[in-house]
Amino acid sequence: MVARMTNVLVIKANPKPTSESRSLTVLEHFLSAYLKRHPADTVVVRDLYDERFPDFDRVLVTAQRALTAGKAFDDLAVDQQARLTVFRQATQQFIDADKVIIANPLWNLMIPGKLKAWFDTICVEGQTFETVAVGERPLAPGKHVLHIQAAGGVTNGQNLASRYVKDVMTFLGAQVTSLPVEGMDRYPDRAETIVTDAFKTAEAIAKTF
């Protein structure tokens, strides 16, 4: 029997180029180390700021309500069809992934808006979780998630963004590993060392992820 290849989904949520982004720099270092150990894995990279990723707005809500009411997909407005198609593709992409890697900056104590929009696509009742008598149950459990987040200050992981990512992924039945990259702006004289230490941590995580 041929072993099924592992599907790795990489979510980039930073509008800066990699050369100017600590989260993306650490992400690239991790991927390099990871792929040396898992060269046969299928890796799909989604850059949320390199596409017109839809917000969960009135257009999407209206479209979903119309479908629920019995309207055919082909009868929706062109804009609604386009947004729903991207939304559904993102949902299925997450379902198909065995491992998920997310890289983002800490912005105003929270994740970037585009990343929140992506999370809205993966929390879909009936596809990624269901409601049962005792609460909610994940429908695509067992994923391994690595969350790389950069912050100029120091939060020691105690920030809304990190907690949000961990809480949502745990809700969906995933195991979460966090890799914070913090303090470069507070301690500019140590910025290079902080990033280098994050590289070492990334290499260590790559051995078991």
Q: Residues annotated as binding site?
A: 21-23
Alpha carbon 63 to its chain centroid, in Å, reads 24
Could you tell me which residues are beta bridge partners of residue 11? 46, 102
Q: 104: which strand partners?
A: 149
DSSP per-residue string spanning 57-95? -HHHHHHHHHHHTT--GGGS-HHHHHHHHHHHHHHHHHH
- Which residue numbers belong to the known binding site for FMN? 21-23
CA 65 to CA 87: how far, in whole Å? Answer: 15
The neighbour count for residue 85, using CB atoms within 10 Å, is 12
